[in-house]
Amino acid sequence: MRTRLAFVLIAAVALLAAPQAFFHFELLRSAPSAKAELTASPAQLQLWFSQVPAAGVSTVTLSHNGKHVAIGKTVVAAADKSMTVALTTPLTPGAYVIHWKGAGDDGHVQQGDIAFTIAAK
């Protein structure tokens, strides 16, 4: 009986704790996607998340060979839980890294990098 009670308690705790894992702010996908090899410069960068990115906290920056690349302002779209940034000039061939930072409903700031390349013609 004790073993059964212990199992039920462990299962209950696991079920109660599991939904919280789904409520954390996390990157779901991006365009360009991680490790993408593009043949031309994209017009914009877009990242989709599990929650609406909090304005004022959520940002996107871009680097090329370790140097900052000037891009447009980060725009948060609540409708599709995304951040979009227009590119002010076409990107030249080479390796790029999108750096993102954001927070959702729980207020925990998350961040990450997405690497992609543009092939030389």
The pLDDT mean for the chain works out to: 87
Residue segments in the chain with a per-residue pLDDT below the cut of 50: 6-9, 11-21
pLDDT at 107: 86
Reported as a single tens digit per residue, the pLDDT across 53-62 is 998 899 999 9
Terminal-residue alpha carbon distance, the chain = 71
Segments making up each domain of the chain, as ranges: 25-118
Instruction: Copy the structure tokens of residue 66.
Output: 């370790």
Instruction: Copy the structure tokens of residue 52.
Output: 């609406």
What is the Cα–Cα distance from 113 to 99, expressed in whole angstroms? 5
CATH code of 25-118, in short, is 2.60.40.1220
